[in-house]
Amino acid sequence: MVSITDVSSTAVFAKERTEAQNRALKAIAELKDIYAELSHSHRQFLKLSRDECMKKFADDEILFETIEALKKGEFLSESSQEKQRIIAEITSEIEQKEMEKKSLIREFEKLQEEKNKTKERLESQYKANKDRLKNLQKARLIFEDNLGMEIRKIEGKLQFVFRSIDPDDRNSPYIITMELTKDGSYQTVSSKPTLECLPDLERKLQETKKIAVFLKNVRKQFISQACQEGMKKQGL
């Protein structure tokens, strides 16, 4: 386990932050490539569907012209029975083509729906990664400049170490340990000293997804607790 007084903590955090930013940027680039590939595939499908529909339309026009010719008596040399047979065959073929056309339309609509769902999912992931990277950059400034806090990665978990909390011992560490779940959200593991309000703070974190606000509130609670303990020591 890394000591909380390790002088290389700034370098460790800088390395972890850079790796996280690189992972987020890589994920965003991959999402862009996937979206471009899906868009290209969709355009190809639309072209093929349009060509197929145009071909079927042309075939139908020929069939309709043939029927009209039959109705106008252009095949007078054929027997009435033979003309009825020809008309029946043509009508059956038209109905078959209509069924094929409807099937093609249903397939196109299904593909369009799947494409829209995939587009929405990719856009959602893309936005989530951008927001996560943006929040990470904001959090870094707050952590380093305002909260006087160090971040450690220990056994797959993140440890946030606050100082300048206890007026009697400005270097005394106040620690909260967290981990990232599979869905990318933060979950608290422990705090030292224990914060009774930690479950409420974690619930708000899950609702807002704002880790910087969560850590600011944790620091406030540590300060409040340290002040109360100091007053007890003084018998107040």
Residue 3 lies in a domain: no
**CA nearest to 101, candidates 71, 136, 57:** 57
One domain, residues 124 and 160: no
Q: Are 107 and 184 in contact (CB under 8 A)?
A: no
pLDDT in tens, 80-106: 677 677 778 888 888 888 888 888 888
Could you give the number of structural domains in the chain? 2
Residue 18 lies in a domain: no
Boundaries of domain holding 89: 27-131
- Residue 140: predicted pLDDT: 66
- Residue 1: predicted pLDDT: 39
Regions of the chain where pLDDT drops below 70: 1-22, 24-25, 27-43, 45-46, 48-80, 83, 133, 136, 139-140, 142-147, 235-236
pTM tops 0.75, yes or no: no
- Residue 182: predicted pLDDT: 78
- Residue 121: predicted pLDDT: 84
One domain, residues 152 and 229: yes
One domain, residues 124 and 209: no
Ordered strands of the 174-180 beta sheet: 149-154, 157-162, 174-180, 186-192
Distances from the Cα of 154 to the Cα of 2, 22, 157, 162, 190, angstroms? 7, 20, 5, 16, 13
Task: Indicate which CATH number applies to the domain containing 173.
Answer: 3.30.457.50
One domain, residues 213 and 157: yes
- Residue 59: predicted pLDDT: 66
One domain, residues 83 and 176: no
- Residue 205: predicted pLDDT: 93
- Residue 109: predicted pLDDT: 83
